[in-house]
Amino acid sequence: MTLKKLSVSALILTGLNFTCFAQNTASLAISNDSKLTISKHIYGQFAEHLGHGIYGGFWVDKSLPVAKQDRIRLDVVAALKEIKIPNLRWPGGCFADEYHWRDGIGPTEQRPRMVNTNWGGTTEDNSFGTHEFLQLCSLLGCEPYIAANVGSGTVEEMSKWIEYVNSNSTSTVAKLRKQNGHPDPYKVTFWGIGNESWGCGGSMTPEFYSDQFKRYASFAKNYPGAPLKKIASGPNSDDYNWTDVIMKNIPDWMMWGISLHYYTVPTGDWGHKGSATSFSENEYFETMVRCLKMEELVTKHSAIMDKYDPKKHVALVVDEWGVWTDVEPGTNPGFLYQQNSLRDALIASTTLNIFNNHCDRVRAAALAQTINVLQSLILTDKDKMLLTPTYHIFDMYKVHQDAKYLPVQLTSPDYVVDGKKLPAINVSASQDSAGKVHISLTNLDLHNNITISTSLKDIKWKKVTGQILTSANITDINTFDQPDKLHLINFTGAKKDGDNLVVVMPAKSAVTLELE
């Protein structure tokens, strides 16, 4: 997939004058003193049976005039392969705890239908099931992450599902998989033991859930070549007691990770979350305050985990995150379809910087969600497809996957609105296996360019190149009539100054630099 790239000077000619605002300054120091790796699984994605995420997104009608393998849409696959998505979480979400896997195997015409009670009351025909999902992951070249049904399922059901996909034995369940067209085991290692067990997954207390986890996990068996990474259903946002109880009651050897779910709701009011496309600067500011709360959440949950797991065996898995706005006018409120603006891209870059900087504990995550739902990477309309601004952030940030983490020390000016302030700049950095250094910077200030003077300790480099995502307005979006309004362009606002790096960050922009 080829993305259009222009120089910053070309942008100025098209009306984006980066030099018309006052300039502030920031200082940044980047060290090479680290043995940590930024796990590629931080860049994971999420596909739930919700709205047009699966049906009409990944899995389309046979008559739709687009390239397909079976009913998997291949232009979507190509776009996601371009950004190297490392994992895909499925089938939910809240849907996971009402999903019974046996309904989604065997001849399609014989699969039972069900009502999706969580998302719009639609009829689910189960045409997209285990084999279809794992075929999709194979086409994407990513690892599957399956969320098992704890809320309305049984231990046996989960145990047999794992056996079905991972066992190469002659058991009845393994033979059934072979009869359904896949002789070899799939070797799925990422398994969530329930989802949001504090809420839609069963309204459990942490004490009750931790006992259930131990029970279910005891029967989640390893098969040859597929050691399980069992992920406990973790807290909702700032429920620190949930994390404390789970970490206290479940031995660290029994779980690979504990999940954390947090959504950036622009207004903070779940009844009226705010528009995805029409908002004031004050509303933008409050949204970014709520986005930055992720730093506090990760820090405090990690501190609790450190108390019980000082060697950091257990990963913090932020497997639902992103901005959640009101749905687009005229769309089904149960389908959670929202547009995606430059604001949402800056939420993505800021959040990924937070995860990168906490890679000692955050070792997997999943944006909610991949297509047509919430903060999507991709939007579709019949045969049309567009890449959102958030997609371009993931494209720009893919250089950090499995790269060496480089610690950063940042002194940032404030972005001030009506006397309230937040740090204008956020950053993360890494070094890849070829020795190239990548620095990702976000400027949240809507008005001011910011000059960043960067010291690179013990890092040798000769030249710098970069990419930028920005636009004239923070509310700008890509549409099916104008799908490339926001896209990556070449960035020329960075230069070498002796041993230091000087970067002029345009207002409301995200930049990734490459030093070599």
User: How far is residue 428's CA from residue 349's CA, in Å, rounded to a whole number?
Assistant: 10
User: How far is residue 454's CA from residue 499's CA, in Å, rounded to a whole number?
Assistant: 9
Q: Can you read off the two tokens belonging to residue 190? A: 């990422």
Query: What kind and span of H or E run contains 271?
Result: none
User: How far is residue 104's CA from residue 90's CA, in Å, rounded to a whole number?
Assistant: 13
User: How far is residue 471's CA from residue 56's CA, in Å, rounded to a whole number?
Assistant: 29
Decide: helix, strand or coil at residue 283: helix
Angle between helices 342-357 and 389-397 (to 10 degrees): 30
Q: Pick the catalytic residue from 320, 328, 514, 516.
A: 320
User: How far is residue 15's CA from residue 7's CA, in Å, rounded to a whole number?
Assistant: 13
Backbone angles phi, psi at 44, to 5 degrees: -75, 170
Q: Pick the catalytic residue from 98, 143, 196, 286.
A: 196
Q: Can you read off the two tokens belonging to residue 110? A: 């014989």
Look up 320 and say whether it is catalytic. yes
Burial of 33 (0-12, 13-18, 19+ CB in 10 A): exposed
Look up 328 and say whether it is catalytic. no
Contact (CB, 8 A) for 396 and 488: yes
Query: What kind and span of H or E run contains 38?
Result: strand 37-38
Partners of residue 415 on adjacent β-strands? 422
Report how far apart, in Å, the C-alpha atoms of 279 and of each of 156, 267, 284, 319, 488 are: 49, 10, 7, 27, 24
Backbone angles phi, psi at 84, to 5 degrees: 60, 50
Question: DSSP letter string over 410-471?
Answer: EE-PEEEETTEEEESEEEEEEE-TTS-EEEEEEE--SS-EEEEEEEETT-----EEEEEE--
Partners of residue 259 on adjacent β-strands? 317
Q: What length does the chain have?
A: 516
Catalytic residue numbers read 196, 320
